A and B are shown apart, each in its own frame.
Chain A
């Protein structure tokens, strides 16, 4: 009952949020122009994948972190009401995640469904939604860990940077150092530790460029391209949503507001 009410009002607030509106509109215009310009659907999806991988984690993480911090006084006020902390926190997350997911689905999903409906674009949508859910959950985690907004934003930027850039750099260093050994399996293991990589590979394997991955490592395509691989990647992404949420609830239980 409380959950529903809070989600509803968070959404009512976010519907009028300028950042969310700008984010949606930019994605929407970008999708239309990319899909309209490239002529080749597969290339258009690839460009939108690049957009998704670069912007979705950063924007969702930063936005959710800032939004949670900005709501901290209101959360405090609401917690002075007879409400469970867990309910309060998860309701706030649900509201934010729903709004950001809607932004992505409208911004990328609608143009893609209109201009380039195929398995790859569906997968792009799925990946984008997953990344939205994951990174707003990480935003929540940052909010409950840090008491200071500035530090929280700093942590959000570092985290986004880590997953978009640094992680893959480290992975490349790992692959490079152990290139004499059969490392396909460990590499798949490592990939599971980065939601952005998981999302990227899910989409790539639905595009014709997938053969380029199979070209160098048969296992990548064979495993990740199979139904089991897709199920595996999706499960990993689900865990990536759940883990920050569980950790947030646990930490928030003891948090001083």
Chain B
């Protein structure tokens, strides 16, 4: 579904992404991991066409993202920070998106219900807490039933209950055969839904493995421990192996 070939993105001398190649397929839940500034967000923004890379090719469902924008119709995106025009209400934001997506007429509003947003949909965005805004962002990501979900630190601002709801939703959609890309600097509670782990550091791809492979190679059962071990040892671990 997504094919990345030799992707490089530089900001001046700084390499945000350095020669990344990877492929993601239906039914996968890929955790993009790495410390702050490792290039996770740059990578997903490149997929979304928000960041324009110097070299390399990204193809989504066979479409080159540099040449076309229609491919985005199949992507649901939940940004890291959800900031909205402050005087818009939740209802207006949802309506606006719906009006922009006239191509879709069947909406997935499960999260809206489960987060109980209906009750507060008349509130303006500036009056909402960061967590509630994250909920809105999550709802919008699923709204048009995309086959591809890209979520940037989805659980960061959410309370444990909401986090659980979102996780269940992600799991459900994965089971429906969708591809889900999630970035996180800690894997913690994505543990049980992750099928693949992609680890970036300083813009470079350190490894891209299935969860099973990782568990097997480290002997740890819980992924977060696996990653913690990797992060502590850094490259040493990889090289050592």
Contacts and interface: CB of A to CB of B under 8 A. Distances in A.
Interface of A: 1-2, 5-6, 8-10, 12-17, 70-74, 76-85, 254-257
Nearest to A9: B96
| A-B CB proximity, top 4 nearest | A16-B87, A80-B77, A13-B85, A73-B83
Contact of B75 (A10, A78, A80, A83): A80
Given A71-B85, A254-B52, A80 B99 contact: no
**Secondary structure of the A contact surface, majority rule:** helix
B59 interface: no
Given A73-B82, A84-B69, A5 B96 contact: yes
Given A1-B102, A80-B72, A83-B69, A17 B83 contact: no
Q: How large is the interface on B (under 10, 10 to 19, 20 to 34, 35 or more residues)?
A: 35 or more
A71 B49 CA distance: 18
Interface of B: 9, 11, 45, 48-52, 69-73, 75, 77, 79, 81-88, 92, 96-97, 99-103, 124, 137, 140, 150
Contacts of B77: 77, 80
A82 B75 CA distance: 9
A80 B69 contact: no
A209 to B, nearest CB: 42
Nearest to B82: A73
Given A8-B96, A13-B92, A77-B140, 6 more contacts: A6-B96, A77-B77, A77-B84, A79-B49, A82-B71, A85-B69
Contacts of A85: 69
A9 B97 CA distance: 10
Contacts of B50: 76, 79-80, 256-257
Contacts of B72: 80-83
B83 A70 contact: yes
B100 A74 contact: no
Nearest to A20: B87
Given A5-B100, A9-B92, A254-B52, A73 B87 contact: no
B132 to A, nearest CB: 15
